[in-house]
Amino acid sequence: MKKFLSGLGLFSILVAWLIVWTLLPWFVILGLAILLALWLVIGRSGRRALSVTRVGLSTLAERLGSTAVIVIGIAGVVGVLVALLAMGEGLSATLQQTGSDDTAIVLRGGSGAESNSVLTRDDIDVIEQAPGIARDTQGKPVASAELVVVANVPRKSDPATDANVEIRGVGDEAWQVWPKVTIVAGRKFKPGLRELDVGQAAQRQFVGLDLGKQLKLAGQEWTIVGVFASGDSHESELWGDSKSVASAYRRGSSAESVTGRLASPQAFDRFKASLTSDPRIKVDVSTTRDYFNKQSEGLSKVIRVVGITIGVIMAIGAIFGALNTMYAAVATRAREIATLRAIGFRGLPVVVSVLLETMLLALLGGVIGAAIVWLVFNGYTASTLGGNFSQVVFQFRVTPALLWNGIKWALAIGFIGGLFPAMRAARLPVTAALREL
């Protein structure tokens, strides 16, 4: 009964500590680490703990196999977790960078994504003339009515099957509405011609999008005359003149969305109010930042949930692996620990030394896992289906925050895996352990 209660107590302390641990910012943890180091070097029992730890570490080489279980097990958890989260991070960053506060996008009411929306020519005129939209030097509103269609183009990595590539028909003002989009090779398409500019990311990902090549869209030949870069989700697209695209896809004079540059970020409220109160049209107005944030929300949430679920299950496996190893280590060192206790060492240095040993091994595993993921996956290019039912090309982003997160997981696993064996070591009955020859 007493044993059970103390076990329960230990377990609840552990859970509480884990919750606190996940919330701690990096500087608090750094502070804790410095405090621990100071105690180890200066404190009386700290120095003892340090020397016991040294003895423990010096025997590591003899039990290489079981030590590797901790290190590699934790490296695996951290690697998989960080890689999956880096995928979600990359996808949402690519989408979110597309938006800004000083441009607004208008869709038909309740459409959610561009591919669901339709705006007639009359709607477009009303939207472009609304107050709040910036005007260029000739007094024309800086707004682009855009048409989104998809085309079947095979991926380079899998030329046998088609992927949905987004073709965006844009107005003359598009280059001012989306200033991040800059031509890096060739030239801009000419209005009225069947010419396309391709995004750099799309060019790398899909077959046959090189400068000067012909691409068959809706049964007609289009020429690729330029390559653009933007560092956001536009790079996954092919841009052409909206009128040419509309005629090829028999869309008449309609468009899917209108994106306008606002006179200032503050002008958004005025712009939105004037459109939502206009009885002639029924539209949704949002800043492009809001729009693209919403686009990234669903998918990156799924990736996060999946990543953490897999991480937790793997971590459970790793914790029990670590427990096994450390219990075995304590058992083989039982006599040595009992000797220490017999000559006057208290329980604390013993507990600290076992915990420290496990956590150092865990840290090593975490660093190895994080380093491998960073080397292999940082900048790794992938693509998935985005909101417009077309491919969004993105790169994995192994951010420092994710790496740090991985290390935190590693230390938490090490802590749990080391705590119970450490308690066992401290509670070893001295006489029995010494007698065990």
Partner 1 sequence: MKYFHLIWSALFRRKARTIFTLISIVAAFLLFGLLNSVRVAFTSGSNSLAGNERLVVASRFSIMTGLPESLKSRIAAIPGVQRVGHENWFGGVYQEPKNFVFSFAVDEDYLGTNPDILLTPQQREAFAQTQDGALIGEALAARYHWKVGQKIPLQSQIFPRKNGDKTWPFTIVGIYQTAKDAPNGIDQMFFLHWKYFDEANLYSQHEVGWYVVKLADAKKADKVAHAIDALSANSDHETKTQTANAFNASFAKQVGNIGLIVEAIMAAVFFTLILLTGNTMAQAVRERIPELAVLKTIGFSNRSVLALVLAESILLLLLGGVIGVAIASALAPGLAKGSGGMIQLPPIGASSWIEGIVLMVVIGILVGALPALRGMRLKIVDALAGR
Query: Given its phi and psi angles, is residue 146 left (phi above 0), alpha (psi -120 to 50 degrees) or beta?
Result: beta
In the complex, minimum distance from the CB of residue 324 to partner 1, in angstroms, rounded to a whole number: 5
Q: CB 396 → partner 1: shortest distance, Å?
A: 11
Burial class (CB in 10 A: 0-12, 13-18, 19+), 9: exposed
Least separation, in Å, of the C-beta of 49 and partner 1? Answer: 26
- Smallest separation (angstroms) from partner 1 to the CB of 6: 17
Q: Which one, 48 or 333, has the nearer CB to partner 1? A: 333
Q: How far is the CB of 218 from partner 1 (least distance, A)?
A: 5
Q: How far is the CB of 360 from partner 1 (least distance, A)?
A: 19
Report the alpha-carbon distance of residue 132 to residue 121 in Å, rounded.
Answer: 20
- 185-to-165, 177, 189, 245 alpha-carbon distances in Å: 20, 20, 12, 22
For residue 368, the minimal CB distance to partner 1 (Å) is: 12
Which CB sits closer to partner 1, 142 or 323?
Answer: 323
> How far, in Å, are 20, 140, 148, 188, 318 from residue 257 at the CA level?
46, 18, 8, 21, 50
Q: CB 189 → partner 1: shortest distance, Å? A: 19
63 or 243, CB closer to partner 1? 63
Decide whether 51 or 111 has the Cβ nearer to partner 1. 111
- Looking at the Cβ atoms of 135 and 301, the one nearer to partner 1 is 301
Residues forming contacts to partner 1 in the complex (CB under 8 A) are 65-66, 68-69, 72-73, 76, 79-80, 84, 110-112, 115-116, 118, 149-152, 157-158, 161-164, 217-219, 249, 282, 298, 301-302, 305-306, 310, 313-314, 316-318, 320-321, 323-325, 327-328, 382-385, 389, 391
CA atoms within 13 A on the CB side of 1: 0
Closer CB to partner 1, 140 or 301, in the complex: 301
- By C-beta, is 14 or 185 nearer to partner 1? 14
Cβ nearer to partner 1, comparing 177 with 318: 318
CB nearer partner 1, residue 316 or residue 348: 316
Smallest gap from residue 173 Cβ to partner 1 (A)? 26
